[in-house]
Amino acid sequence: MLLADAYLEKGKPTWNARLSVDHTYPLQEAYVNSLYILFKPLVATPPVIIERKKDKRTGLVYKSIYFKTLKFPCLNEFHALFYNNNIKCVPLNIKNLLTPLGLAHLIMGDGYFDTDKQTIFLCTENYSLDEVNLLIKVLNKNFDLKATANKRELKNGIIGWRIRFSKSSLDKLKALVSNFVIPEMMYKLGIEK
């Protein structure tokens, strides 16, 4: 989840971390609710739906659904792994951390099925090209999945990189993660529920 949209917050370096989960409402409500059930013992309040500010790019107002855990010392270890100077990064030891379950959460959080190209992409634009290439290497080494880094120029001129799975790896990818993907998110694998 931390490779995707989930994030850890620390108000000050000496404070304990808390996990924040925030996704588009209502499209990803089922996913947030499934995560809430998983983390419920660490959460004081159930998921909340909020209306966001008007998007400058589209002019539309979006809603999201989110929850946050309480602050815990056990989350500090993950903050140390996934953050460098409070900027989210791909841990150098990701090969030891990424499992099929973790990959399923990465897809549910930041993946999509491109109907035109008939493949799955991971929205990894917030990571450097080196980090994206590290993820690609781990996907290949750990799971024998073929993927490439696809350049994407954002409207502000910044270059980002998405991971594109090879069509030859799609069946293997789906078999690897489909038992962990909730029914409401199967569309991200190109599978109708």
Task: Going residue by residue through the chain, which has 193 residues, state the pLDDT in tens, using 9 for 90 and above.
Answer: 999 999 999 989 999 999 999 999 999 999 999 999 999 999 999 999 999 888 887 888 999 999 999 999 999 999 999 999 989 999 999 999 999 999 999 999 999 999 999 999 999 999 999 999 999 999 999 999 999 999 998 778 889 999 999 999 999 999 999 999 999 999 999 998 6
Q: What are phi and psi of 177, to 5 degrees?
A: -110, -15
Query: Domain 94-189 sits in which CATH superfamily?
Result: Homing endonucleases (3.10.28.10)
How far apart are alpha carbons 113 and 183 in whole angstroms?
A: 15
What pLDDT, on a 0 to 100 scale, did the predictor assign at position 158?
87
**Six-digit token string for 112:** 């999509």
Q: Where in the chain is the domain with CATH 3.10.28.10?
A: 7-88, 94-189
Q: Which pLDDT score, from 0 to 100, does residue 5 have?
A: 94
CB 24 within 8 A of CB 63: yes
Residue 130 CA to residue 161 CA, distance in Å, equals: 10
Which pLDDT value is given to residue 179? 97
Give the amino acid at 31: Y
Q: What is the pLDDT of residue 160?
A: 94
Least Cα distance to 138 among 125, 118, 124 occurs for: 124
Tokens 């270059």 appear where?
159
Contact 51, 66 (CB under 8 A): no
**CA dist., res. 28 & res. 24, Å (int):** 6
What confidence score (pLDDT) does residue 107 get? 98
The helix/strand/coil state of 58 is: coil
**Helical H runs in 73-189?**
76-82, 94-97, 100-110, 129-143, 170-177
Report CA 66 to chain centroid distance, whole Å: 14
pLDDT of residue 133: 98
Domain 7-88 has CATH 3.10.28.10: yes
Q: Which two tokens stand for residue 35?
A: 């995560």
